Amino acid sequence: MRKKEVLFAVIGGVVGAVLTMAAGSIAPLGAQNEVKDVEFGKIACRGITVKNQAMPGQGVTVGPLGVGVWGDEGSVDLRVKSGAGIRVSDGRGRVEIGVDEQGGLVKVRGKNGEGGARMGIDEHGGAVWVHGKDRTSMATMRIMEQGGFINCYSNTESSGTAGIGINEHGHGLVVVLDADGKVGAMMTSDEYGGKVSVAGRGNARNRTRAIVGVNEYGNGVVNTWDKDGYRSGRLK
């Protein structure tokens, strides 16, 4: 037998032995009782799913966007792309911790999507948003240009809003808006002391109807305007 034929025979025997060993190490699908441990070097694939054969409702999925773990009572998702973060759910409520274009973000959802809260970053800094079960009422706590501000409002057509914050002079401010988004009442302070103003409805040139405050001499002052916006009285 020539040297080339002997070489081919040896190579064929080695390859056959390797294939026989590999076939004995990897069990075919469905052969649960014949599964053996196999050690690999590197594996490249688009995704991996591992299921608990004894409990089909449990498993792990690994893919290019992250890792997902699920069970009979809920699931956990870890995303590394498309908005990195973690999401935990029990099929009813849900919690998300992640990152958006502004920075860190936390979302909490109630059962079946009823109610929720969000804590994150907006253009001025930290912010918290809270909405009710029917999603018509909402409250926010955030940072404005003058300082902190709390806003409460409802999405119904006949309701207004109320806010607590800081005015442009650095003084405390409470403001109430009507359903048209116009100021209805405001309580604040200026360089002389406390100040309360009340506005009327409509489109008069001056909607202010009364202001109660303190003048430069420390005396109480009440100014009033009629429905057309003209000064109607002054008491001091």
DSSP-assigned letters across all residues of 118-170 = EEEEETTEEEEEEE-TTSSEEEEEEE-SSSEEEEEEE-STT--EEEEEE-TTS
Q: What confidence score (pLDDT) does residue 52 get?
A: 67
Q: Kindly tell me the sign of the dihedral angle through the C-alpha atoms of 24, 29, 31, 37.
A: positive
How far apart CA 166 and CA 197 sit, in angstroms, is: 16
E strand or H helix that includes residue 7: helix 3-25
Tokens of 199: 């506005």
106 closest CA partner among 76, 133, 79, 85: 85
The 10s digit of each residue's pLDDT in 103-142 is: 888 888 887 777 889 899 888 889 999 988 877 788 999 8
182 closest CA partner among 160, 166, 197: 160
Q: What confidence score (pLDDT) does residue 183 get?
A: 82
- The phi, psi pair for 189, rounded to 5°, reads -145, 155
Q: What confidence score (pLDDT) does residue 82 get?
A: 55
Q: What confidence score (pLDDT) does residue 211 get?
A: 93
| Below-50 pLDDT ranges, the chain | 1, 3-4, 6-31
Contact 17, 10 (CB under 8 A): no
Provide the residue ranges of all domains of the chain, joining segments of one domain with +. 1-38, 147-236
Q: Kindly tell me the sign of the dihedral angle through the C-alpha atoms of 223, 226, 230, 233.
A: negative
Q: What confidence score (pLDDT) does residue 210 get?
A: 93
How far apart CA 202 and CA 182 sit, in angstroms, is: 10
Contact 85, 96 (CB under 8 A): yes
